[in-house]
Amino acid sequence: MSYLDIYQQSIEQPELFWREQAEQIKWYEFPETILSQDEHGFYRWFSGGKLNTSYLALDVHIEEGRGAQLAMIYDSPATDSQQKFTFLELRDQVAKFAGGLKNLGVEKGDRVIIYMPMVPEAAIAMLACARLGAIHSVVFGGFAPNELAVRIDDAKPKVLVTASCGIEFTRVIEYKPLVDQALKIAEFPPENTVVLQRPQAQAKMQSGQDHDWNELLNNAEPAEPVALDATDPLYILYTSGTTGLPKGVVRDNGGHAVALKYSMKAVYNTDPGDVFWAGSDVGWVVGHSYIVYAPLIQGCTTILYEGKPVRTPDAGAFWRLIEEHKVNTFFTAPTAFRAVKKEDPQAKLKKQYDISSLRTLFLAGERLDPPTYEWLKEILADGSQPEIPIIDHWWQTETGWAICSNPMGIEPQPLKNGSPTFPMPGYNVQVLDEEGETCKPGETGNIVIHLPLPPSCLPTLWNDDERFKQSYLSQYPGYYITGDEGIKDEDGYIFVMGRVDDVINVAGHRLSTGEMEELIAGHPDIAECAVTGIDDELRGQVPVGFVVLKDGAQISQDKMQEELIAIIRNNIGAVACFKQAGIVKRLPKTRSGKILRKTIRKLASETEVAVPPTIDDPLILEEIREIMQQRGIGQYATS
């Protein structure tokens, strides 16, 4: 069947379509109901079905005779080591760690926070929770203690799992002091902490609270997978919203397993036994879906990489891994390749490696900008291997898998540079104007998805049904708003142009400028402020703050910048990449007082910026431009 026929069927007969996909995984009890609505009117997939995600990711393959196949390869230039796990070995480790969690009193429905670097134990902890029906919430290691504490207080975990340290290039970052600080700040700290001691740093343990990973494991009996309802949550993943409080995206077990299994063929065209590498971090949704769950559910070998695209040790790292582990499908963020391009513009290092195993390159996390696409196309078409398609695909933490992609396993479509191609089956994607009317082809509008969302998409937000409705469902009744704007062209291709809200994308990491503003506004000298994501050649966007001082406040530009950098770094984390700020006399606003952040953003990248009609005094923009010039912000950067 053609892509179009399959897509039409998925939209017109969603229950029939997803029943067929549900038949592709092993259930303890096949769901009676495919699609239903709960007491809040929220859509639920596969109600009544019983399954276990850890069983699907591990045990099924052993039962089917693939126990000796590699399930996971840990490749760590950070520690100069590698470790390989067959499905059998990984299942045994997961079952043992699940037993260890059980010994700490963890049961179905309990929450477990995982704050770990890119080590196999992070994936083992996730799968162990899934085995017990405990709900994991992985917090990215680059977040500061305050962010960790906010997530602890929302999830109220029974246990927190961490490691003694992470490694950033050659820098050892001790995690335990950060965890201890977060536990002090938190109102609802967990009763127990499990610590993986790594040789690079020894964590100080507190008796009663802290448990050594290995001891816990050695004293545990393996735990069997627990039969869970399809609608039971598998995990909560916090993501940036428009305010300081992150949104706890809930992922259920049934919809997630079915959609991810489906995506491994329809989107990525992979089969059991293939080697799949998502160069991301388990702290992000890409890591959840495509380092841990989907490749394992599909019976692929997944790669867990503790390193960077560059300087670990060089810009040939991606090519080295592809050759060494015979990677068939590689997925990363465009920013990672921009980092490679910066250090090795002619891709000379690629010539040292045989990357002939690579069939397809997938990119997501931010728009694949046309210059990066062109560069990749050029370096991958050097005649040393067959053509490798470069696929941009668009998705979000909320969905867990691609909303739009080139359907490589259904029927590859001609590419259009700058577009993630077509909606995937199950996603009825529309572009609406402010009044809710469908935009004409080529007209920019809000990208929305007609309900029901397909399986794996969030059924609600953790502990906050109201916020789920307000944030996603209230603007256009019957639709989910993605928060992105873009166009559908005359051929049905979707172009995603960027966020319409206060969310920015820094090196493929989703951050909230609203949260940064809330923090900055707490500075005693500041009357008002705006944080905006300005264009950045490497990271796509970086946040920059503009502040207006209170009357009489005396502080220099440099001192203010230094203090604001510290506020953001200490509260959100280094990952926010907040490095520049300027004191301005006034901020541009609408008549109702809304700050025109988009106009400020344009000033940082464009030489001619039209003065919005709501601004009475065009000098406001000139004053801001002057500060940008003085401080080397955006296009005025000196290096």
Q: Which residues bind ligand COA (CB under 6 A)?
A: 141-142, 166, 168, 173, 279-280, 284, 286, 308-309, 332-333, 335-336, 339, 364-365, 507-509, 539, 574-575, 577
The whole-angstrom distance between residue 463's C-alpha and the CA centroid of its chain comes to 21
Binds 428: which of ligand COA, ligand AMP, none (CB < 5-8 Å by kind): none
Q: Based on CB atoms, which residue is closest to ligand COA, 205 or 574? A: 574
Q: 95, exposed or middle or buried, with CB in 10 Å at 0-12, 13-18, 19+? A: buried
**Least Å from the CB of residue 402 to ligand COA:** 12
Binding mask 602-631 for ligand AMP (x = CB under 6 A): ------------------------------
**Least Å from the CB of residue 140 to ligand AMP:** 10
CA atoms within 13 A on the CB side of 66: 22
**Least Å from the CB of residue 164 to ligand COA:** 13
Identify whether the C-beta of residue 121 lies closer than 8 Å to the C-beta of residue 306. no
Tokens of 169: 């290039």
Among 147, 154, 392, 502, binds ligand AMP (CB under 6 A): 392
- By the rule CB under 6 A, 239 interacts with ligand AMP: yes
Q: Based on CB atoms, which residue is closest to ligand AMP, 381 or 497? A: 497
Report the C-alpha gap between 200 and 317 in whole angstroms.
22
Contacting range for ligand AMP; rule: CB under 6 A; set: 72-80, 157-165, 180-188, 364-372: 364-372
Pick out residues in 434-493 that bind ligand AMP (CB under 6 A): 482-484
Q: Based on CB atoms, which residue is closest to ligand AMP, 99 or 486? A: 486
Report the C-alpha gap between 87 and 62 in whole angstroms.
7
- By the rule CB under 6 A, 396 interacts with ligand AMP: yes
**Helix (H/G/I), strand (E/B), else coil: 413:** coil
Binds 168: which of ligand COA, ligand AMP, none (CB < 5-8 Å by kind): ligand COA
Going from the C-alpha of 558 to that of each of 116, 235, 288, 579, 630, the distances in angstroms are 35, 43, 40, 11, 11
**Least Å from the CB of residue 575 to ligand AMP:** 12
For 400: left if phi > 0, alpha if psi spans -120 to 50, otherwise beta; the answer is left
Going from the C-alpha of 109 to that of each of 52, 232, 561, the distances in angstroms are 13, 8, 44
Among 59, 110, 274, 366, binds ligand AMP (CB under 6 A): 366
CA gyration radius for the chain? 24
Binds 308: which of ligand COA, ligand AMP, none (CB < 5-8 Å by kind): ligand COA
DSSP-assigned beta bridge partners for residue 394: 404
**Helix (H/G/I), strand (E/B), else coil: 79:** coil
Binds 280: which of ligand COA, ligand AMP, none (CB < 5-8 Å by kind): ligand COA
Q: Based on CB atoms, which residue is closest to ligand AMP, 355 or 458? A: 458
Tokens of 161: 């799992």
Comparing CA positions, the residue from 45, 474, 105, 38 lying closest to residue 258 is 45
Q: Based on CB atoms, which residue is closest to ligand AMP, 365 or 423? A: 365
**Least Å from the CB of residue 249 to ligand AMP:** 8
Binding mask 285-314 for ligand AMP (x = CB under 6 A): x-----------------------------
Report the C-alpha gap between 375 and 537 in whole angstroms.
14
Identify whether the C-beta of residue 530 lies closer than 8 Å to the C-beta of residue 595. yes
